[in-house]
Amino acid sequence: MLGKIEDKASAVESKDIVVPIGPFHPALIEPVYFRLWVQGERIVNVDIKVGFCHRGIMRLMEDRSFQRNIYLAERVCGICSHSHSTAYCETVEQLGDIEVPDRARYIRTLVFELERIHSHLLWAGVGMDLIGFETLFMLLWRDREQVMDLIEAATGNRVIKSINTIGGVRRDISKDMLGKIEDKLKVLEKATLNAVEAVVGDPIIKARVKGIGILTTADAKRMGAVGPTARASGVNIDVRRDDPYSAYNEVSFDVITRSEGDLYAKVEVRLLELLQSISICKQCVDKLKTLGGSIVAETIPEFTAGEEAFGKVEAPRGELMYYIVSNGTNIPERVRMRTPSYVNNPTLPLQLIDETIADAPIVIAGIDPCISCTDRVVHIIDGKSGKSETNTVRELALRYRKKWRRT
Amino acid sequence: MMDYTPLIVLANFFLFPGLAFSFIVGWFSYWVFRKLRARLQARRGPPWYQPLIDLVKLFSKETIIPISAQKTYFIIAPLMALASLLLALMLIPIGFSSATVAFVGDLIVVIYLLLMFGVSTAFAGSASGSPYGAIGASRELSLILGYEVVFAAGALVPALAAKSLLLSDIVTLQTGGNWLLLKFPFGGVAVLLCMAAKLKVKPFDMPDAKQEIVAGPFTEYTGPLLGIWYLAKMLTWFVLSALYVDLFLGGGDGLIFPLNLVTFLVKCFVVVVVMTIFEVANARYRIDQAFSRYLTVVFALALIDILRFWVGSYLGWW
């Protein structure tokens, strides 16, 4: 895997300029540091440094009850907060053998797809900004407000949806509100179709993204890429179809794939997924109109020590996986999450080498990286001696708690 | 207006059409650009005094010069840009049929002075000691290689039509609505496209592409020095649109005093609006794409009109 990158990277010479992108850079909102070795405008080698935004959420989860952890899971990522809480709740439900009512499953699916629309529109806007198309960036974000309103109508919140709970959802959607959501979905569909037309038809956008940042099918499989990044490279995977959760086995949708693996394919995959998501939302609204019943399971779960469970969902960026071990109490023994960017980020050097600096921001944004959910264990390297030390979060917490108490 | 007594020269340099007048027009041109762009992008946009308060803020701040920068050149570069623009203003007829200073070949001098702005940008970038500046400078220079010949070729079309390299002759030729843009639309469009690169309007704004290289050559500038760059940027809006109006849109149309100036300024704002729409409707090219497009498509446009002029003179079209 590494050998491949080294093959591709030419020998780095001392006269090569190092162009830093990050940790704080106008193109990337989140703290991540890319070192690009360039010859003229051409990138010859890439180094990624993450870890500027580590928050120790997995550790914190081991101190809090299952119920309180929903709050933490939602805050792993602002954009895909519902994906995280759904993945977490589904895993806990597996652990406690809880049956989720039908109505709750449909509400989860509806909010999930609204979140995907919001995330993909946000991504498309940022992508347009990165190739310098400020106008389309502004207009796409204006249209994104429609879906934010929809999310607010469905959940009562705009960004952190706070609708999931263990065994169901916390808020029901009234019939009146469902009608409003349906009307607004039509407006959103029209706006989305306009946006797709504007992006796909523009010659300059095509000149900028066609054939850039290619990730081959073989590379995507070897690096374990997930989500739209993998689907644009011809890997036909989608958790929603392959391993359905919530109500995904009862709605119909297409999995969009492209074989080219370049940025244009990634744009196409995401934009066409938008239309699929709107169709799923419509199906959910139709179903919710007739479906009755409660929205949360009544059973009191029991956890047995040593039991473990896996849950996975298709977050907007790809497969998101939760692994939870119970110790028989109401507090989990271990929570481990694997976010999509964690596996997608390492494909970036393969896509960046041999491109130009002008393309670096859009290639990086092409996989829609989410940085703060990627950061795991702190790895400290002493700049003077080169001695490195890997700390678990527990060790660091103990060390700094002591320091804090002394002063 | 060929009076060269020191007081008149100073007044010309600092009042009309020099610093004071061009600052006000440049300020409004830049504001129109920003406001219109914002409205077309479904944003609110800045209030009319925004360029002024930006300048006041910059001039009241401290200047920081990075250790790795070449101090002298770092300071000289913005002054060079501003000075060449003010000099160019002396040679361009503003509303009247003749400029403050007019001599045979002043069109060539104006083209050189406008080139100085790009060159000093590249100069600033390489002197700033920052990798973003260095890349910005190299992009600026490649862009100049692409558009400068095309710009000169396009600007040559009106000169050929007037059989003179004197800007006032070109303006006089167009009195009575004989705008050269109507006769030579291809050359006019070619010059307009080259102006896009000089004004850093999309899709040709890669030397200071903020998403890629922060602010390019201007990354390390702070305080008054950045203020001078800002001022120079505002002046380029006016200087370039004024030159375009003189070359292709008939200048002040030979009207009497207040009317000629008003007509001229209205035309300048039309040019600004066209550039704004151009900016709003486009994404950014990569530097190699822009370079090749200038030397193929845009150059071809300019050459078509030069050829049309020669063929037309044999056949007696004009």
Which one of B139, B283, B286 has the shortest CB-CB distance to A359? B286
Say what the pTM is: 0.81
Q: What integer pLDDT is reported at residue B273 of this predicted model? A: 93
Dihedral of the alpha carbons of A55, A57, A60, A64, in degrees to the nearest 10: 140
Residue B283 to chain A, least CA–CA distance (Å): 4
pLDDT, tens digit, 9 for 90 and up, residues A154-172? 888 888 888 999 888 988 8
In a domain, A289, yes or no: yes
Domain layout of chain B by residue ranges:
6-315
Which one of A19, A131, A208 has the shortest CB-CB distance to B131? A19
C-alpha of B130 from chain center? 26
Interchain contact, A133 vs B284, CB within 8 Å: yes
A375 CB-side CA count, 13 A:
20
Which one of B42, B134, B205 has the shortest CB-CB distance to A132? B205
Q: What integer pLDDT is reported at residue B9 of this predicted model? A: 75
Residue B132 to chain A, least CA–CA distance (Å): 7
Q: What integer pLDDT is reported at residue B163 of this predicted model? A: 83
For A66-217, strand residue ranges (E) read 164-165, 168-169
Least confident of A216-220, A250-254, B14-18: B14-18
A27 contacts in chain B (CB < 8 Å): 211-212
Least confident of A105-109, A133-137, A234-238, B251-255: B251-255
Residues ≥6 apart with Cβ < 8 Å to A23: A31, A32, A33, A49, A52
A361 contacts in chain B (CB < 8 Å): 211-212
B284 contacts in chain A (CB < 8 Å): 131-133, 204, 208, 358
**What percentage of chain A reaches a pLDDT higher than 90?**
10
Residues ≥6 apart with Cβ < 8 Å to A318: A225, A226, A227, A228, A229, A230, A340, A343, A344
Helices (H) and strands (E) in chain B, counts: 14, 0
**Mean per-residue pLDDT of chain A:** 83
B257: how many CB neighbours lie within 10 A of its CB?
Answer: 10
In a domain, A258, yes or no: yes
Q: What integer pLDDT is reported at residue A375 of this predicted model? A: 67
| For A205, nearest residue in chain B (alpha carbons) | B283
When scoring A357, A359, A362, A363 by the number of chain B Cβ atoms within 10 A, the one with the most, hence best to mutate, is: A357
In a domain, A4, yes or no: no
Interchain contact, A357 vs B284, CB within 8 Å: no
Q: Return the top range by mean pLDDT from A29-43, A325-339, A369-383, B303-317.
A: A325-339
Length of chain A: 407
pLDDT at A7 over 70: no
pLDDT at A178 over 70: yes
B43 contacts in chain A (CB < 8 Å): 138
Q: What integer pLDDT is reported at residue A2 of this predicted model? A: 44
Interchain contact, A19 vs B135, CB within 8 Å: yes
Interchain contact, A360 vs B210, CB within 8 Å: no
* Domain residue limits at A137: 63-366
When scoring A130, A143, A204 by the number of chain B Cβ atoms within 10 A, the one with the most, hence best to mutate, is: A204
Interchain contact, B41 vs A139, CB within 8 Å: yes
Interchain contact, B210 vs A135, CB within 8 Å: no
Interface of chain B toward chain A, CB-CB under 8 angstroms: 37, 40-43, 131-132, 134-135, 138-139, 202-203, 205-206, 209-214, 280-289
pLDDT in tens, chain B (318 residues): 455 677 777 777 777 777 888 888 889 999 999 999 999 888 898 999 999 999 999 999 988 888 888 888 889 999 999 989 888 888 888 877 677 777 888 888 999 999 999 899 998 988 888 888 888 898 899 899 889 989 998 888 888 888 888 888 888 888 877 787 878 888 889 999 999 989 888 888 888 877 777 788 888 898 899 999 999 988 899 999 999 998 888 877 777 778 888 888 888 899 999 999 988 888 888 888 888 888 888 888 888 888 888 888 888 776
C-alpha of B313 from chain center? 31
Sign of the four-CA dihedral A195, A196, A197, A201 = positive
Interchain contact, A357 vs B213, CB within 8 Å: yes
For residue A307, the domain's CATH number is 1.10.645.10
Q: What integer pLDDT is reported at residue A1 of this predicted model? A: 39
**Domain count across chain A:** 1
pLDDT at A346 over 80: yes
Q: Return the top range by mean pLDDT from A12-21, A289-298, B32-41.
A: B32-41
